[in-house]
Structure 1
Amino acid sequence: MLKRLIRDRGGVAMVEFALALPLMLTLFMGCFVISDMISCYRKVTATTRALTDLASRGISPSSAPATSTVSTYMSSADLVMSPFDITKASLQIAQLRICDTTHAYVVWSQAQTGSTAASPSLVAGTVVSVPAGIINSYMVPSTANACASGVAGTAGAYLFYGQVAYAYTPAIGFGLKLTTNMGDQLYMSPRLN
């Protein structure tokens, strides 16, 4: 009977399938989660671009915008982030006035923060560092020490700053509460004078 059992090949495919199924399902779900994460990151980048572009096209740098105008721009982020949950996002639009080649004064800033996302980083009335290569020499004011208090924000070109932070939680978490923080930021010159 043992010899006959050893020679029998009738259930080999079923056993091999039963052994390979957990691995195949894990690979499939892992690929789904990774592609969903990439899609979410692309949505975060597109939302950052859309917010900053709307601000640079629709807000004049010579005067502070109405709060409702900026709120409308931030509400449009819901459309761009769809189908991802906007309540997990933190959005910020700010207007910067350049002081020197690496610093800018925050003229105004407005944020919309979701319950689980990172807090906005710019506060109106402060001087912030700007990454190298963003500010061109023709944008820098001729005023000496333009970042000093009392002088800040009175000279130099403008920039709009958009930032989106998102707390991504995969739909299939394998029973774990895994959250990945994603974010993007963008500087853009004003287009409306």
Structure 2
Amino acid sequence: MRAAGAFFQALAGRLRALGRCNAGVALVEFAIALPVLFLMYAGTFVLADELSCSRKVTVTARSVADLTSRYASLTPSSLSTIMAASTQIMSPYANGTTNVRVSELLVTSPTTATVVWSQTQTNATMSQGLTNGSVYVLPTSMAATGTYLILGEVTYTYQPPLNFGSSTAINLYDRSFMSPRISNAIPLSS
């Protein structure tokens, strides 16, 4: 019985000494904080990358509308060249999920316009965009009735570079309106 009492007294003494010892406290705190710091760093990286991609979508929409508005008339070849420039603007992001659309709109009221022509580029393939003659809803008082607008739209499916258990893609979209610069309208030849 005496041996057991001595054992428990020695154990209690060692536990008290261990409670007073702080030699490994910094290591334990670092081991606890490291995963949290890593998640904060990785989350900040993903957020910054998404914001950068979103900004590129905005710049691309503005650029295709701006470049198109500088023409007096367009051919399918010149429009294809303008839309191909979007791949350079979106770099280094993958072009496979980029959808670029350029349209000319005739403003028919303060809140609506009619599509004059529209072309879409997806994966370097040109196709009909919005249906000619269809109604497009404008932001309130965008332009005077009877004027033309060039609409540049970009849709991009963003896939985060780091996956935190979810591979959810984020759809980014932006649009930009420009007035033709050289002429009242910019016809697209066939």
> Does the TM-score normalized on the shorter chain lie above 0.5?
yes
- Verify: 1:185 aligned to 2:175, yes or no: yes
Asked whether 1:100 is paired with 2:109, we answer yes
Question: Is residue 66 from structure 1 mapped to residue 70 from structure 2 by the alignment?
Answer: no
Map 1:3-152 → 2, pairs under 5 A: 3-60=16-73, 65-114=74-123, 122-136=130-144, 140=145
Percent pairwise identity:
40
CA distance in 2, matches of 1:186, 1:72: 19
How far apart, in 2, do the equivalents of 1:133 and 1:100 lie? 8
How far 1:3 sits from its partner (Å)?
A: 2.3
Q: Structure 1 residue 121: deviation in Å?
A: 6.8
Matched positions, count: 166
* Alignment check: 8 A CA contact 2:118 2:129 kept: no
SS in 1 for 2:70: helix
Q: For 1:6 and 1:157, how far apart are their aligned partners in 2? A: 81
Contact 2:64-2:102 within 8 A present in 1 as well: yes
Counterpart of 1:173?
163
Query: Quick one: structure 1 residues 105 and 74, their matched pair in 2 at CA, closer, same or farther if it must change by over 3 Å?
Result: same
> Structure 1 or 2: larger helix share?
2
Partner Cα separation in structure 2 for residue 59 and residue 53 of structure 1: 13
Question: How far is 1:129 from its partner?
Answer: 2.0
2: CA distance between counterparts of 1:11 and 1:184?
Answer: 53
Deviation at 1:59, TM superposition (A): 4.4
Post-superposition shift, 1:19?
0.4
Query: Looking at CA atoms only, which structure, 1 or 2, has the larger radius of gyration?
Result: 2
Calculate the TM-score normalised by the size of structure 2: 0.81
- Determine the C-alpha separation between the residues in 1 that align with 2:35 and 2:72: 55
Q: State the Cα RMSD in Å.
A: 1.6
**Contiguous gaps of at least 5 residues in structure 2:** 1-13, 184-190
Gaps of 5+ in 1: 115-119, 141-155
